Amino acid sequence: MPKKIRRKKQVTPERLMQFGFAYAPPLIIGAAVSSKVFDTLEAGAKTVEHVKKETGASERGLRAIMNALVGLELLKKDRQGKYSLTQESTAFLVSNKPGTLAGFFAMAKTHILPDWLHVDEAVRTGAPPIALNLETQGPQFFSVLVENIIPMSYPAATKLGQALGVSKKREPVRVLDIAAGSGIWGIALAQQSSSVRVTAQDWPEMIPITKRMTQKFGLADRFSYIEGDVLAADFGNNYDIATLGHILHTEGEERSRKLLKKTFRALKSGGTIAIAEWLVNDNRTGPLNGLIFAVNMLVHSERGDTFSFKEIKSWLEDAGFKKVRKLEAPGPSPLILATKP
């Protein structure tokens, strides 16, 4: 029989051209948020003309972005030319929903993309256009960011409380929320038991935001506060749980190691540290979101990076922790838990 001739798959530029417009989706979503497209469609399906009347935006502009949102599967369009929300956009892009990411996409143009325009310079010099880990620069950025990324952390923080059996605790549970930001890690734990008392630590400029969020959730009476840099502030001791919600990537390895040792001292024997991060594999070949976030740290921090579970596990063990493990939870990566003997 004649041998089958294997034809090489033809290489095309299509995938690279898709990358060439990868900046477009967040800007399109942000424009739709600013023009109240998702909010307007929450009441029901509407034509472009109806959305124009309610928002005041141009018909040409609305038609372009709304059709693009159909392509992105964030809107649906019927045969009568009426647009409606999908389950995903209903849950996360309507501005008044508790899990909304509308604010995050609205701020992408003003607080994220301008810094990324300097990525070539950051690659050349190794220095970021803005160092968010510094108190002189970070609060201005984080004061806008922290509330807009609550939906990324709240489900994982809730799962953490469930895994630790917080709702079953009757004796006091002391929680240290390090670099608390919005306070959502402590808030989610406090919601599960009236026995939880949270100490939230952050820069002085961030604490008013944390206080406002605890009041919003009706938990202000169960929070106390420590102001200062994570390595300079006095955490106190005898905590049952310490949370580090997406902090290590900004700090970098040296400061992260010091912070984990300091957290170890703050916990009681049997206490648990919980770390949320954008993990990468040992060879740094995936997952893609973690690799891209490492570039985000190049742009936004002096020594920040993304790390593997193996790396963070070794730091925790060097700090004295035992039983380092993963907890599958909603979010970009599993949570990392460890216990103080």
pTM for the predicted model, two decimal places: 0.91
Strands (E), 169-235: 173-178, 196-202, 223-227
Q: Which strands form 173-178's sheet, in the order they lie side by side?
A: 223-227, 196-202, 173-178, 239-245, 267-276, 335-339, 322-327
Average pLDDT over residues 204-228: 97
Average pLDDT over residues 37-48: 98
Q: What is the pLDDT of residues 92-151, one digit of tens each?
A: 999 998 789 999 998 888 889 999 999 999 999 999 998 988 888 888 889 889 988 898
Q: What is the pLDDT of residues 141-162, one digit of tens each?
A: 898 899 888 988 999 999 999 9
Tokens coding 1: 């029989």
Residue 225: strand pairing partners: 200
Q: What is the pLDDT of residues 264-300, one digit of tens each?
A: 999 999 999 999 999 999 999 999 999 999 999 999 9
- Domains located in the chain, CATH noted: 14-114 (1.10.10.10), 128-339 (3.40.50.150)
Instruction: Report the b/e string of 267-306 with b at 16+ CB within 10 A.
Output: beeebbbbbbbbbbeeeeeeeeebeebbebbbbbbbbbbb
Question: What does the pLDDT read at residue 4?
Answer: 65
Above pLDDT 90, what percent of the chain? 86
Question: What does the pLDDT read at residue 137?
Answer: 87
